Amino acid sequence: MKKKIKESISKLFTQWCGEEIREIKALPEAGSYRKYFRIQGSSKSAIAVYNEDRKENIAFLQFSKHFREKNLPVPEIFAKNIDENIYLQQDLGDTTLFAFITDKRSGVEFSDEVIGLIKKVLDQLVNFQVLGTKGFDYSYCYPRSAFDKQSMMWDLNYFKYYFLKLAKIPFDEQNLESDFLRFSDFLLEADNHYFLYRDFQTRNIMIQNDEPYFIDYQGGRQGALQYDLASLLYDAKADIPQETRNELRKYYIEKLSEHQLVDKEKFNNYYFGYALIRIMQAMGAFGFRGFYEKKLHFLQSIPFAIQNLEYLLDTVQLPIEFPELMKVLRLLTKSKELKRFNNPKHKLTVTINSFSYKKGLPVDKYGNGGGFIFDCRAVHNPGRYEKYLELTGRDQDVIDFFEKEEEMHSFLENAFKMIDQSVDKYISRQFSNLMVSFGCTGGQHRSVYSAEKLSSHLKSKFDLNIILEHREQELSFTY
């Protein structure tokens, strides 16, 4: 963390509660450029947020105030310093709805416990859309006050340029643009005078004491009811079974019907259209973060998004035809370029990191606590010898050095036993991700060698995906 940001956060925390910060820990980055930190004083704790986008900060703070006045479950804002782009909010813990689903599911189907919790989420979604809409000041929305034609065209072109282009899906530019225009016109025929959360997905819903709380609604604006429902039920990696989706959609309509008349056929026509645009928006994000920014874990969501897309294309008939768009979406589902990401459902991915303790711990990218961290600093360090100073644990001379070191053999033997036990359990419970990190002083020799050895060990023993990242060398490999 930059020194100035830390100083600003420390000052704001002390002003709020009168305590000095005892611990500050960076939280995993997700799909935005906001930075989150968990901070702890002697008795008080909070989440600090640093975001250079001033208008986005103002939107979040204003929306939070409004929703709390409506008794909706959002974090309390403790303190803010708009000029320095920071604010403090209530700490709602680490358990997202996605993490809850991942932990509780055993196989493909969802348990009654999971379905019951999602129904609580849908209860609150209706409250956001009905109660939250009343008196809502859309002038604070950023970058648009409504999910209007401009917003839709931004999303559709995001999908076109960052997914279709980078995934090498051919299309007729003019015909596709014409379909985009017709498609957005169709979607705007739905009643769009409600609060639209915009990013209503399982990682933006926190679970505390078996109750849902909601975060990351700063992109909210006026729009149609169907968009947020589709965002949740077609959340790619949540991978909700289709029968369960249908059950939950019916439940939502029943809850909404308690507040207003609902034409179910009309609602469903627009619902599936909004499901399509949401999937395309998400694919644009996967393409931008994965293909363009080379953040490989975003690419792991592509098979789930394609599976959702295939279902909609095979089962839903929209009342208006969009020939080029439908052709392109069909090509996408059959793309050989994308087949390489289409691993069997629930295949475990193990992310292996090497890192330097001087530069902090690796960030947990998956929201499940980060897995194992092994400290290699007790092992004999070749970095103490001039011969090895410019080499890493991937170079043969360093490999030869460690092959003769009993300390390293013993260290890895013990580590592998623990890791193997977790991998066995994770595979049997059909978990998606495990992270294992090896740290040493410089992140160059011992940690790199250990990470490489674990990668080879797991590849020889288990059927899984491996992402190997040597942070300090800025190297990443996928197997």
Is the same domain home to 16 and 113? no
Mean per-residue pLDDT, 331-335: 94
Same domain, 101 and 57: no
Summary mean pLDDT of the chain: 92
Cβ(42)–Cβ(22) below 8 Å: yes
180 and 69 within one domain: no
What is the rounded average pLDDT of the residues 132-136? 96
Examine the domain organization and report whether 71 and 114 are in the same domain.
no
At residue 90, does pLDDT exceed 90? yes
Work out how many domains the chain is built from and give that number: 3
Whether the CB-CB separation of 153 and 277 falls below 8 Å is answered with no
Residues 229 and 138 occupy one common structural domain: yes
Question: Does residue 373 register a pLDDT over 90?
Answer: yes
DSSP character string of 68-124: HHTT---PPEEEEEGGGTEEEE----S-BHHHHHHHH--SSSPPHHHHHHHHHHHHH
C-alpha distances out from residue 76 to 62, 67, 300, Å: 12, 10, 34
Domain boundary among 41, 61, 89: 89
CATH at 31: 3.30.200
Residue 344 has pLDDT above 50, yes or no: no
**Lowest model confidence (mean pLDDT) among 271-280, 300-309, 412-421:** 300-309
pLDDT of residue 173: 96
DSSP sequence for 306-336: HHHHHHHHHH---SS--HHHHHHHHHHHT-H
> What is the CA 415 to chain-centroid distance, rounded?
29
The pLDDT of residue 107:
66
Residue 455 belongs to domain spanning: 349-478
In a domain, 344, yes or no: no
Model pLDDT, residue 106:
67
Burial 215-252 (b: 16+ CB within 10 A, else e): bbbbbbbbbbbbbbbbbbbbbbbbbbeeebbebbbeeb
Question: What pLDDT, on a 0 to 100 scale, did the predictor assign at position 478?
Answer: 82
Helix (H) or strand (E) holding 242: helix 242-257
Domain of 317: which CATH number? 3.90.1200.10
- Reported as a single tens digit per residue, the pLDDT across 143-188 is 999 999 999 999 999 999 999 999 999 999 999 999 999 999 999 9
**What is the pTM assigned to this prediction?**
0.74
Question: Mean pLDDT, to the nearest integer, of 280-309?
Answer: 87
Higher pLDDT, 427 or 473: 473
Question: Could you tell me if 313 and 355 lie in one domain?
Answer: no
